[in-house]
A = this chain, B = another copy of it.
Amino acid sequence: MATAAIIGTAGYVGQETLDRLLAHPGLETVALGSDSLAGRPAGALDPRLNGSLPPFVGKAEAAASGADVLFLCLDHAEALAFDPPADAVVVDLSGAHRLADAAQAEAWYGAAPGARSYGLPELFPAEGRLIANPGCYATAALLALGPLAGAIDGAVIDAKSGMTGAGKSLKATSHAGFVLENFSPYAVGGHRHAPEIAQQLGFPVCFVPHLLPVRRGLLATCYVTTDADVRSLLEAAYAASPLVRVLASGVTPELARVQGTDTAEIGVFEDGATGTAIVICALDNLGKGAAGQAVQNANLALGLDETSGLRLAGVAV
């Protein structure tokens, strides 16, 4: 059985990655890296975790564990400083290495362009063993717009995400007093997922994210002008995909059906007044938007079944 290590387990993305690994029949978790929890048992993170997992170790020790795949659940500054071991598959869940253009990488992440391969399996499969896992917003926007890229030259992307998208660190905008019963846009006019989306599509986009008062789930409403048959392009792109569902005509995506899963769903509409094509993608920001896609990328890189460990949709309320 292949082995896995998580570098940075105590944040939302690390926890969710661990959750997939717990259900993975082909990957054994051999190291849980967390500097804040090093030396403590797995149950110190969550009382649901029992003695079958190894105790936490420091991040450096986890990186040196010799695991076949390393999941980097770090902020982008830490991820930039990370030196990947030879031979291991590395899935970097930060934004550090997503932008290939030097100026863009410098502008948005203070980084040199990465030597990692962008990996959105349905549209842009990664090459090699060093993989940049896409951003949550970028995943939703690209799933909606990627198959149309040859037929459009711009898009308005109005996106809304649950609060776990902002991570577990304490800040005024993740305080429940700001989030509950509230709704607001942020980073209007300049969010770092915009250049990531543009890089993959080949043209700039107008992208505005908003913060939803829900724990998890992300929905991107995309507006494009095109003469193409939008529905046909999307249905063709995902006909064989186990994780992306193009909904029947008239059915609208909603968060409830993707929360807690690693699937995405896409609705396709045309505006009656203006003819604008409206493509709407819903996914779980921590699932297909982060940890689920990371495990999917790892599965592909290791030659395992693409959906091993992933949460396919059931029918829960």
Contacts and interface: CB of A to CB of B under 8 A. Distances in A.
Interface of A: 12, 15-16, 18-19, 22-23, 45-49, 154, 156, 158, 160, 163-164, 168, 170-172, 174-186, 188-190, 194-195, 198, 204-208, 210, 212-217, 219, 221, 223, 245, 247-248, 251-257, 259-260, 263, 265, 267, 269-274, 276, 278, 280, 282, 286, 313-317
A214 B212 CA distance: 10
B273 A198 contact: yes
A46 B185 contact: no
Given A181-B181, A189-B270, 16 more contacts: A22-B314, A47-B245, A163-B177, A163-B180, A180-B214, A184-B255, A186-B252, A190-B271, A194-B273, A195-B273, A198-B273, A204-B273, A206-B273, A206-B278, A208-B221, A286-B317
B260 A206 contact: no
B215 A181 contact: yes
In the complex, the count of this chain's copies comes to 4
Nearest to A316: B19
Nearest to A188: B269
9 contacts: A16-B317, A19-B315, A48-B313, A156-B223, A164-B177, A168-B175, A174-B177, A189-B270, A189-B271
A20 to B, nearest CB: 8
A219 B274 contact: no
B315 A181 contact: no
B274 A205 contact: yes
Closest 4 CB pairs of A and B: A184-B254, A176-B179, A170-B170, A158-B158
Contacts of A280: 185, 188
A12 B177 CA distance: 9
Contacts of A204: 273-274
A221 B272 contact: no
